[in-house]
Amino acid sequence: MKLLHTSDWHLGRTLYGRKRYEEFEAFLHWLAETIRQREIDVLLVAGDVFDVSAPGNRAQALYYRFLCQVAASDCRHVVIIAGNHDSPSFLDAPRMLLAALDIHVVGCVSENPADEVLTLNDAAGAPELIVCAVPYLRDRDMRVAEAGESAEDKARKLADGIRAHYATIAALAEQKRATLNPAEKIPVVGMGHLFTTGGQTIEGDGVRERYVGSLAHVSAGIFSDVFDYLALGHLHVPQKAGDSESMRYSGSPLPMGFGEAKQQKSVCLVEFQGTTATVQTLPVPTFQKLERVRGDWPTLSERLRELATSDVPAWLEVVYESDELIGDLRERLDAAITGTALEILRVKNNAIARRALTQTHAEETLDDLSEEEVFTRCLTAHAIASAQQPELLRAYREIRQSLFEEEGEGLSGENETQKIG
């Protein structure tokens, strides 16, 4: 039996304003072809199907079109759990309809834990696999808030709740396996969307730290030995959990930010012989080249020339790092890529930041400054005329206020990360 484990598609996500539907479509086409060519029996999607709780029509169309393709293939089952980006009710809404196509969706924790323990049958109708499809476990599902709790109390109760939930699900799976075929064990696969201790993240990988919270303290040791394979989602870097070959994060199939630009994306191919799982990673092709270019002006201009010569379309993040302040940096960069297949999506001018944040005394740190003080120093560093400063400061305050108001209404995806961090 062959399983394919993937997660963190984030359909609908943008990158600094650029829509990425062509990339998502190319990936899903590749995934459907891989399922067909590799003769995959079960597809596991470990959360964060969409990037926001209310995805747009085009993201939904990609999702349902892909599910129809898989349902029409020889792949017998698809199991999908919700991640922290997904709306549990949105994913669950067509659950009964999709179940008729052997597509099993678990969007939220049920009052009956047995609802998360799925028995999948082979082509002859005999049980061949038990899947413990545990969705993203939200704080409100795992603990009861009490007055006077400390942050440590909340973290401990949340971790205890997650541990207890997985223990319950594992016990149910073990009971079911014993009753289905006592003579010959069938494999048990666990699924989850969470952050385990020691999990690797990188700057710009798109993982929302504000949602990680105390889940970062959940040890990989909480998972029962009943699971012959554990398919995890949430971390975008492909990796093992707890240094175990059979506990894996598949990682996101597309780079979600420039921090992931040089990362080889993959999905996990799991083959079972009895209850023994053998795992290999299948590299996902690059559908849109991303590159972060950093350095002083000579370094940047040389690298841009090299990229232009390759004639490969690429989206760039440019990080200017030098003590020399260049006032027309953006104009120089635009001139350097004119007529090429390159497109600059973001420019970070660290020279401005360094000059603006020059210490006024040795003990001063960034934490000592308010946002407004940082902006005021920027004006001074750029020798902005004193007559212009009040109007610029007023505009700055209006922009900050509008961002706070929008955040209060609820943020999502890349915009949230940018505005918070």
pLDDT digits (tens, 9 = 90+) for 357-393: 555 555 555 556 677 888 888 887 777 888 888 888 8
Q: Residue 383, SS3?
A: coil
Q: Residue 259 corresponds to which tokens in the numbers above?
A: 């921090």
Closest by alpha carbon to 239, among 214, 273, 264? 264
Q: What percent of the chain has pLDDT over 90?
A: 62
Q: Residue 375 corresponds to which tokens in the numbers above?
A: 């902006």
Calpha distance 409→402 (Å, rounded) = 11
Q: What values do phi and psi take at 53, rounded to 5? A: -70, -25
Is the CB of residue 319 less than 8 Å from the CB of residue 348?
Answer: yes
* CB environment 33-68: b (16+ within 10 A), e (fewer): ebbeeeebbbbbbbbbbbbbbebeeebeebbeebbe
Query: How confident is the model at residue 405, as a pLDDT?
Result: 59
Which CATH number applies to 2-283?
3.60.21.10
Q: What values do phi and psi take at 370, rounded to 5? A: -85, 165
pLDDT tens-digit readout, 264-308: 999 999 999 999 999 999 999 999 999 999 999 999 999 999 999
* Residue extents of the structural domains in the chain: 2-283, 289-356, 372-421
Total count of residues recorded for the chain = 421
* CB environment 173-196: b (16+ within 10 A), e (fewer): beebbeeeeeeeebbbbbbbbbbb
pLDDT band at 412 (very low <50, low <70, confident <90, very high): very low
Mean predicted lDDT score pLDDT of the chain: 86
Is the CB of residue 177 less than 8 Å from the CB of residue 121?
Answer: no
- How many angstroms from the chain centroid is the CA of residue 167? 26
pLDDT band at 9 (very low <50, low <70, confident <90, very high): very high
How would you classify the pairing of strands 2-6 and 42-46?
A: parallel
DSSP character for 50?
A: B
Calpha distance 43→102 (Å, rounded) = 11
pLDDT tens-digit readout, 315-363: 999 999 887 878 789 999 999 999 999 999 999 887 765 655 555 555 5
Counting beta carbons within 10 angstroms of the beta carbon of residue 408, is it exposed (0 to 12), middle (13 to 18) or buried (19 or more)? exposed
Query: How confident is the model at residue 212, as a pLDDT?
Result: 42
Query: How confident is the model at residue 411, as a pLDDT?
Result: 43
**CB atoms closer than 10 angstroms to residue 283:** 10
Q: Considering only 54-58, 142-146, 288-292, which range has the smallest mean pLDDT? A: 142-146
pTM confidence score? 0.81
289-356: CATH class: alpha beta
